[in-house]
Chain A
Amino acid sequence: MTDDLALVERFLRGRGEAAFRALYRAHTPALFALAWRLTGGDRGEAEDLVQETWVRALTALRNFRAQSALRSWLCGVLVNVRRGRIRSEWRIVDAPDIEPLTEPAGHDDAIDLERAIAALPDGARDVYVLHDVHGYTHREIADLMGIVEGTSKSQLNRARSLLRSSLP
């Protein structure tokens, strides 16, 4: 049995706080990194996204099947939560304010790349982050985002092209 599966079973036995915290600590750093990039470096929005992801994930945790890695499943939940939030935000605001990036990422090139990713249009950024940063395939991205694989590929090409032109 994998560590993840053991953690899930332990949690589902009693839904105890300690078991949840073990799950949280194992997977939140990856969820937060994904959320932070998908939101263009908006820390507050990323934290809200992580919180809503855990709410959705625990509601549906009995449906988790061990065929996929728990982390991938959780990231999928996060991407779907993000899609839902974007749809509702569109009805409320046109141009959300995003704080400038301050997150250190190791060295200057990485910081430049993080900034350039944050400046990408939403759709292109989502595909780029999922494909080039987190290693999802176009098929997985298409399933997660409810788009066809061709759209995922064209968004990725667009993102790469924009990044090439924006990076020194």
Chain B
Amino acid sequence: MTNLPLEMQPDSALEERVTSVLVAAGLVRRRRVWPVWAAAAAAVVVLLVGITKFRPKHALVPGNTYAVLLYEDPAYKPSPPQVGNVRVQVLSRWADSLNAAGKYISAGRLTGPGPLGGLFMVRATDDADAARIAASCPFRQWGGHVEVKRYDR
């Protein structure tokens, strides 16, 4: 046997070319990369499902209905896996306090592209009260952006 090298590195572009051909031929499945907002939105879904379930109803205060909108801006820090459902518990306690005050209506998720991941529907006596509610939302502690808008039927 000769001692010529048994391995040679081809051009690095060949790997991409071969992979693309194999994907096109259906022999390899292309890796699907979920955008950050999709992962974050999924986390919000989990949060909101946990918050809305089994909550007793209280009589709502007189006033207007508002939507408290939760945005996962780039500054939002998703929950690390090791802390489990701590955020669910924190938001749930916040919703409990609103509910006890007659100011909680519902929570829900918003699907589709973009950073808007979920909302709380709340009852507030006026715009200033709604702003105070939004300002107290724990979602802001994690870098999330919170907006409040009055809901007119």
Contacts and interface: CB of A to CB of B under 8 A. Distances in A.
Interface of A: 14-18, 20-21, 24-25, 28-30, 32-33, 36, 43, 46-47, 50-51, 54-55, 58-59, 103, 105-106, 110, 113-114, 132-135
B152 interface: no
Given A46-B10, A51-B14, A55-B21, A106 B27 contact: no
Given A28-B10, A50-B14, A58-B22, A20 B28 contact: yes
Interface residues of B, number: 24
Given A20-B28, A50-B18, A58-B22, A29 B9 contact: yes
Contacts of A110: 4
Nearest to B11: A47
Contacts of B17: 47, 51
Most B Cβ at <10 Å: residue of A18, A25, A47:
A47
Interface SS, B side: loop
Contact of B10 (A20, A50, A105, A135): A50
Nearest to A57: B27
Contacts of B1: 132-133, 135
B8 A36 contact: yes
A106 B5 contact: yes
A50 B18 CA distance: 8
A55 B31 CA distance: 18
A123 B56 CA distance: 84
Contacts of B22: 20, 54-55, 58
A29 B29 contact: no
14 contacts: A17-B19, A17-B28, A29-B7, A32-B7, A33-B8, A47-B10, A51-B17, A55-B25, A55-B27, A58-B27, A103-B8, A133-B2, A133-B4, A135-B1
Given A33-B7, A54-B22, A132-B2, 16 more contacts: A15-B28, A15-B29, A16-B31, A20-B22, A20-B28, A29-B10, A32-B7, A32-B10, A32-B14, A46-B10, A51-B14, A59-B27, A103-B8, A113-B4, A114-B4, A133-B4
B132 interface: no
A21 to B, nearest CB: 7
A14 B30 CA distance: 11
Closest 5 CB pairs of A and B: A29-B7, A33-B8, A32-B10, A58-B27, A17-B31
A24 B18 contact: yes
B25 A32 contact: no
A111 to B, nearest CB: 10
B18 to A, nearest CB: 5
A133 B6 contact: yes
A105 B4 CA distance: 7
B30 A17 contact: yes
